Amino acid sequence: MNASEIIQNEQTLMPRVYAKRPLMLVRGKGALVWDDKDRQYIDCTSSYGVSFLGHCHPAIVEAITRQAERLIACHGSFYNDVRSELVRKIVEVSPKGLDKVFLSNSGAEAVESALKFARRSAGKPEVIAMMGSFHGKTMGALSATWDKKYREPFEPLLPGFRHVPYGNSEKLRQVVTEKTAAVMVEPIQGEGGVRLPPAHYLTELREICADRNVLLIFDEVQTGFGRTGRLFASEHWDVVPDIVCLGKAVAGGLPMGITIAKSEAVSTLKVGEHSSTFGGGPLVCAACKASFDLMTRERLWERAAILGEQFRHGLERLQSSSSIIRDVRGLGLMLGVEFKFDVLRIITECMNEGVLVLDAGRNVVRFLPPVVIASDEIDRTVSVLGAVVEREERARLRSSATE
């Protein structure tokens, strides 16, 4: 197939649910990807946070290749050596007390599982989530997600969901009722604009939930697995939730969702009440085990913290000399630059200059680079953004002069 046939196929044979970029990616290595014309890009999207270990990491390729020759599929109703080793490893590295692991196939499925576990163990129907939150697009996860552009076309969603302002623990305290099963929060809001919580917020949520006998669920699908400079972002605030959801980065690029819970949060579940045909299959478990091993052996979250500082300082330098950047924020390798206007053109211009970045909401450029990104690739990214920002400033000056 030639390039236009490939594009044509995707356009005509798939529902148009993705905002497509005019770019066809065909291979990747580390922090770099190449398009069909062999043009190279620095990938500060890591495929929306998935390729945190970099594209085609040799340890992941080797684990997948070896496992593919032994056993690819093994339903959860059979025991499996790789799965068993993996869940042991996950519990070892998880915050203390989180010692039950459910394996699935995506972030949304990890969230769905958490919601079911919470409702089942609490025996109560209500879930409180946050304004600005994003938890996925399946019906349960969507019910917890805030943005009405995702929700409204699919209403009615699940009953029993409410949203309170992110960062306001007093408001949360007021809306918890005797019917509340769980409070769900991203420690740092990702899609909502890379928003960090106020200093004591997560500790206060922990206290409120403990006082009111409500489960605290952290959605770490985006923040988890080292990205923010700790293996779990919750560690920055020393708060342990009752349930944590992981996804995206955990399996070196393969699809995997992980829901880790305290025993009490899953103890009432009965056989058959929850399952997932593909969940915990040996192929993805081998990849996930290799990525956890690599992560812990090389303490890669520390690298994320160090490189994240370099990256953030570079972005802050841009902000200090720019009239169109409103804010720079984030932790580790989860960074956002808020502009005073819609960032679509900035993102497209960066792509044209060989750097792939994401948006987060309308006016934030988001960087989720892989942890293997080199220091000079960060410098290059910052200088490309700097040049794009300068051009945009000049264009805006010109157009306001002619108005």
Ligand X SMILES: Cc1ncc(COP(=O)(O)O)c(C=O)c1O
What residues line the site for ligand X (CB under 6 A)? 48, 106-108, 111, 134-136, 186, 190-191, 219, 221-222, 247
By the 8 A CB rule, do 312 and 330 touch? yes
Quick check: is 219 catalytic?
Answer: yes
Label the pairing between strands 180-185 and 243-246. Answer: unpaired
Two tokens, residue 376: 């000079």
The minimum distance between CB 387 and ligand X, in angstroms, equals 29
Sheet containing strand 215-219, strands side by side: 98-104, 257-262, 243-246, 215-219, 180-185, 126-130, 161-164
Cβ at position 22, least distance to ligand X in Å = 22
Phi, psi of 59 (to 5 degrees): -65, -35
Catalytic residue among 134, 232, 339, 367: 134
Residue among 176 and 221 whose Cβ is closer to ligand X: 221
Give 106 or 113: the residue with its C-beta nearer to ligand X: 106
Shortest-Cβ-distance residue relative to ligand X: 107
Catalytic position from the list 219, 232, 289, 359? 219
C-beta of 251 vs 388, nearer to ligand X: 251
Among the residues of 123-227, which ranges form H helices?
139-144, 148-151, 169-175, 201-212
> Is 134 one of the catalytic residues?
yes
- 15 or 272: whose CB is closer to ligand X? 15
Catalytic choice (100, 124, 248, 289): 248
Q: How far is the CB of 46 from ligand X (least distance, A)?
A: 12
C-alpha span between 2 and 269 (Å, rounded): 51
Whole-angstrom Cα distance, residue 129 to residue 375? 37
Q: CB 276: neighbour CB atoms within 10 A? A: 18
What's the min distance (Å) between Cβ of 107 and ligand X? 2
Is residue 315 within 8 Å of 369, Cβ to Cβ?
no
CB of 105 to ligand X, least distance (A): 8
> Does 339 qualify as catalytic in the annotation?
no
Q: For residues 247 and 369, which CB has a smaller minimum distance to ligand X in the complex?
A: 247
List active site positions.
Answer: 134, 219, 248
